[in-house]
Structure 1
Amino acid sequence: MSSTPQLARSWYESFVVGSQQPRNAMPARPPRPKSRGGRKVGKTTAQQHATRQQMIRQGELRDYTVSILRLSGGQDPDANEICRAAETSLWNELYRLHINIQRYSASAEDTAAAYRSELRLRCRDVESSALELVIEELKHLAVEEHPELNEFVVEEPVKLDATSATQLHQLRRILGILCQEDELLTFDNAQCRAVGNDGAFVALGLRLKQSAFVLRFGWWDASALLQKHGICVRLVTPETNCMSDDEASTASSDGDASRQLDGSDVAALFEEGTVDDFSASDLLKTPL
């Protein structure tokens, strides 16, 4: 376990930013020359790879996997300037927090435990904010609301507006940063230095891996978030609201006019993507 708080970031700032040498995030395989069927590789990239491999042989760096990052995914196109500013601010805040915790802890183990506890508390708070965001959207669109049943009734499939979709994506990315900080606590020094050498940080705008996010948090899209927290969405047709109670009851029993949605039904109602490179722009293209 790293004995220095934020060793990965310190290495990145000292040896990458400080030297002004750009790095390709999370290099998965060595570059191939054009003559062997691969694309042409610049001298700088080839030299960086050779240097990295030498540092691995010397034990200064070690291979690693940051589970929350999409391998070779590049920059997240939906992480706008506001989002990136917020992520940088959070990253700086976490750096200071980790240092302060170490200052008042008796051992490296105590530091890691206290920092991990704070990270997971923040994850719960961020997820609560995401849930509130989706619920507020539902409140505007629901024809009925039953708080005692955690139920919303809607007349047609709904979708997040552009602002809400962007905000939900930003909250996912914040969770990604917190998740990576937690994961880095399990890395040894050589792995932390390798992360810094590669600039493999969510906070630098890299894309999240959806499957890893779902495995960690149990949701990705709005429908899965509602299901996780036991929020029910019931779809009714406008005709149902014009029926008498007896007629509505009969129609409901026939399954034609009203039905409660859960599981795959809710996912179908929200109709969101499932691929790992899912983005906020994709969220806006399909109804919720």
Structure 2
Amino acid sequence: MMRITEQPSKYRHLEKMPVEEITAHINAEDKTVACAIEASLPQVNRLIDAIVSKIQAGGRMFYLGAGSGGRLSVLDAIELPNTYGIEKGLVNVVLAGGIENLYLAPEEKEDDTREGWRQLREKDINEKDIVIGISASGTTPFVLASLEECRKHHITTGCIVSNPSSPIARQADFPVEVITGPEFITGSTRMKCGTAQKMIFDMISTTVMIRLGRVEDNRMVNVLLLNEKITDRAVRILMEKGELSDYEEARKLVLAHGGAKKALDYLQSSLNG
């Protein structure tokens, strides 16, 4: 396979550049990320369809990663229960070194070929689920060995990688290869690769939640009432969707029913009463 992610940066003698030149070059490289994702959209779409199908059939989704990509997947997964009101455990992360050690970033755990499958087994992984390996290089031992075990146990797999024809992509039923090219700092895949991974995580999780009915029109009607800002947002959603003009009345309904969606359902049932 071709390790594009390890190819030398086209920018030389960075230590001699003024700040303005460094930031301009980084910005220019970042602009190429969206185009790289656009080229991989057919693969992304197939992966999303597979995730939706698995969840609708009673399964769960697992991100499986190490390094920057794995840590970014944690950020994506932890937002979903609050934003879309899904039950915890529907979208999960298996991280090299464990999520509890996220801040410590134990990079040596990327080479552990047993830990990923052990963590998956602890979560009772089964054929209803789908596991998505995250690896910029496409060769991370932690991810590769875990996907190999998934395939042996007939568990559906996907991946997000940034090199073509990688071993991890070969172990994925639904591979996504987003080729972002050499990094500004040679081999620093937390940069363009990480940006691409974050954008794809947003794309996957948002689209999955929409397809699962957790969004109406363009509103997060199932958002949990965790603070005043979010409660205000839910009240305004109810006012718009329920055609209410009294803020305090709408707020009482939202609080009484635990969210905009349940309050809307109550209003609709009252009308059909």
> Taking structure 1 as the reference length, what is the TM-score of the superposition?
0.25
Query: Of the two, which has the highest radius of gyration?
Result: 1
The one of the two structures with greater contact order (alpha-carbon pairs below 8 A, sep at least 6) is 1
